[in-house]
Amino acid sequence: MSPVNETHRIRRYSTTPDLIAESLRDEILRGEIPPGQALRQEELAERFGVSRLPVRDALLRLEAQGLVHVYPNRGAFVISLSADDVREVYEMRVLLEGDMLERAVPLMSDDDWRRIEAAKLDGERSASGPGWVEGDWQFHRALYEPAGRPRQLAIIEQLRGTVARYTSARSALPGRAAEWLADHDAILEAARARAGVAARRRLAEHLTRVMEVVLARIEER
């Protein structure tokens, strides 16, 4: 792994597996650690000034988020996806997220709508910057949570994590931000009307458009 600036190091007294995972996750999403890159525990332990145990735990957290795969006796590697892999992930997302949204719409309370609106505003503020992916997820999460299906939500989060490094590139495509936000408005319009089937359809259209952008970037490379 290439040397990093000293400001990227995590001090021993504040290091936890979550902080290490967060630091590595940011670098993966920014493309500083490329797909297929080995993440060697001994190198990371030296870099962060810790033992290998918190590093191992951090890598397992990244694996749960769909960003890294840990192979027994081989080590951890950043996920690398083919075009077919991306299509499969997005087709699964369309099914799972669409089902979640359709279930959630008739159950949305006033408190849910306050959380959804707050997440929407936060997403709009970060739409053209590096925080886009997280803001987008918080918006979608707020939409899905009223369905009350935590296991399904966890699977969705993992699938989103698997393609996160590709979708994070949207921050470099500010011309697309208006399109994504218009999609969000269309989904919300249907949800407010308690039209679960229509909301699901608009979500599927949104995810399909995002998939096409990701596939185009993979082809460019």
pLDDT digits (tens, 9 = 90+) for 155-202: 999 899 888 777 665 444 445 778 888 999 999 999 999 999 999 999
User: Which pLDDT score, from 0 to 100, does residue 216 have?
Assistant: 85
Give the predicted TM-score (pTM) of the model. Answer: 0.77
Instruction: State mean pLDDT over 108-128.
Output: 91
For the domain 83-220, what is the CATH code?
A: 1.20.120.530
Residues 6+ apart with CB under 8 A from 10: 19, 20, 23, 48, 49, 50
CB 161 within 8 A of CB 68: no
Which pair of structure tokens corresponds to residue 15?
A: 């290091």
pLDDT grade for 203, boundaries at 50, 70 and 90: very high
Among 75, 100, 113, CA closest to 159 = 100
Class of the CATH-defined domain 6-78: mainly alpha
| Beta pairing partners, 38 | 77
Question: What is the average pLDDT value for the chain, to the nearest integer?
Answer: 86
Domain boundary assignment for the chain:
6-78, 83-220
Asked, colleague to colleague, whether 6-78 and 83-220 share their fold, the answer is no
What is the three-class DSSP state of 179?
Answer: helix
> Which residue would you say has higher pLDDT here, 45 or 218?
45
Of the listed ranges 97-101, 142-146, 162-166, the least confidently predicted one is 162-166
Q: Write 25-28 long-range contacts (CB < 8 A, 24+).
A: 25/62, 25/65, 25/67, 28/62, 28/67, 28/68, 28/78, 28/164, 28/165
% of the chain residues with pLDDT over 70: 87
pLDDT grade for 126, boundaries at 50, 70 and 90: confident
